[in-house]
Copies of this chain bind each other. A is one copy, B any other.
Amino acid sequence: MAINHVKVEIITIGDEILIGQIVDTNSAWMATELNKSGFELAQITSVHDDANHIIESLEMALKRADVVLFTGGIGPTKDDITKQTLTKYFNTKLVFDESVILNIEKLFSTRPNFVINELTRLQAMVPENCTVIQNQVGTAPLTWFEKDGKVIVSMPGVPYEMKNAMTTEIIPRLQNHFKTPVLLHKTVQVYGYGESILALMIKDWENELPDYISLAYLPNSGIVKLRLSGLFDDILVLEFIMNQQIDKLKNILGNAIVAFEDIPIEKLVGNLLKSKGLMVATAESCTGGNIAHQFTLIPGSSEFFKGSIVAYSNEIKTNILQVSADDLEKQGAVSQTVVEQMAINVRKLLKADISVATSGIAGPTGGTDEKPVGTVWISVSSAEITLSREFRFGALREQNIIRSTQAALLMLKEII
């Protein structure tokens, strides 16, 4: 049974996104939170601080959506015109609202260097026909308008102000205003098949999905995420049926499914290592420290990551990692025997339980007919087992580094 959900659009206002100065992380965050809360995002639009363009975007959005959320353009400086534009659009006027000043005074009471000046006082001028929602962490208030059953909200573009407002005020108010349905997402991550081969493999399964469950393919450098989205009136039934579908998928794809949740592979491996009390070390040639970097981006990684030898020169492979100079000479750095010695020796040297080593030709130069650019040997090693594989990742340097890192993490996962 299909449910019509409440449609939302986001309009971000300001030049910084359009000149490429900042990446719009706000919209992605808002999209995640809105989806989790049962809303459907119909469109995201980024426009300049330009009154006509803002109005045009609003009118188009109101044709498609029930809710329009504006972010940005509400600072007190000259270039910010969202408030004036909405005031004109709703055919009203700006009036002084004492509650805004009281909120700012409360806010500034903990920050001795901040004083209310003329520009700050301008924040208290609000459109007469809107509901004013106080900004708990900033000076610009939020404004909530209703028109023909639809809701229009203007909020700050500063990320932590927007996040605070969305979480504590806007989403709860919207859920209350519209009675939102239940939406459930489940993601499995598949490795080793391109999008099109995968689509053929699961074609029959995909065609038999009930109409209240939809499927999306989300490819990302070697891994394809399959995301199931379900809409149903009973959350428990929906959960049960979606799990059934994922079980069927497991029967088809087997070990190609490397994760049943939507988390980065390095985090998945980190969690596995922690749960088994294992410490990992890396010996990196072609990945140049990127495996170590991915691990150490994770808070608390010192609980499972010991360290790394980035052996970019052969000298380090022989002197520090004790790789046989003879093997290095005869087999070359990109060979099974060298990468295995790197893996085994880094594990012993750094006193780790488990290790991974990479050696390959990242490019753009250094390839030969026998070992073209993109040839990578990876080895994982524990006290019990040492497993090595050769890969061919193609001609692009950055892609080679990313894919080698990913393959190394997945081989680690195999032997943990």
Q: Which residues of B contact A225 (CB under 8 A)?
A: 21
| CB of A102 within 8 Å of the partner chain | no
Tell me if A216 and B372 are in contact (CB < 8 A).
Answer: no
16 contacts between A and B (CB under 8 A): A21-B217, A21-B262, A23-B25, A24-B28, A43-B46, A75-B196, A75-B217, A79-B216, A111-B374, A111-B392, A289-B289, A296-B312, A302-B312, A307-B311, A309-B310, A316-B350
Minimum CB–CB distance for A63 against chain B, Å: 9
Minimum CB–CB distance for A150 against chain B, Å: 18
Known interface pairs A75-B217, A76-B196; 14 further A-B residue pairs with C-beta atoms within 8 A, sorted by A's residue number: A19-B229, A20-B31, A20-B34, A21-B216, A21-B262, A76-B195, A110-B374, A110-B392, A284-B292, A293-B293, A299-B363, A309-B310, A313-B350, A316-B350
| CB of A18 within 8 Å of the partner chain | yes
Which of A82-90, A115-123, A170-178, A231-239 has 4 or more CB atoms under 8 Å from chain B? Answer: A115-123
Q: Which residues of B contact A254 (CB under 8 A)?
A: none
Q: Please report the C-alpha to C-alpha distance between residue A22 and residue B169 in the assembled complex, in whole angstroms.
A: 25
| CB of A394 within 8 Å of the partner chain | yes
From the candidates B18, B32, B111, B117, name the one contacting A197 in the complex (CB within 8 A). Answer: B117
Q: Which residues of B contact A93 (CB under 8 A)?
A: none
Tell me if A199 and B27 are in contact (CB < 8 A).
Answer: no
| CB of A395 within 8 Å of the partner chain | yes
Tell me if A117 and B21 are in contact (CB < 8 A).
Answer: no
Tell me if B315 and A351 are in contact (CB < 8 A).
Answer: yes
Q: Which residues of B contact A25 (CB under 8 A)?
A: 23
| CB of A17 within 8 Å of the partner chain | yes
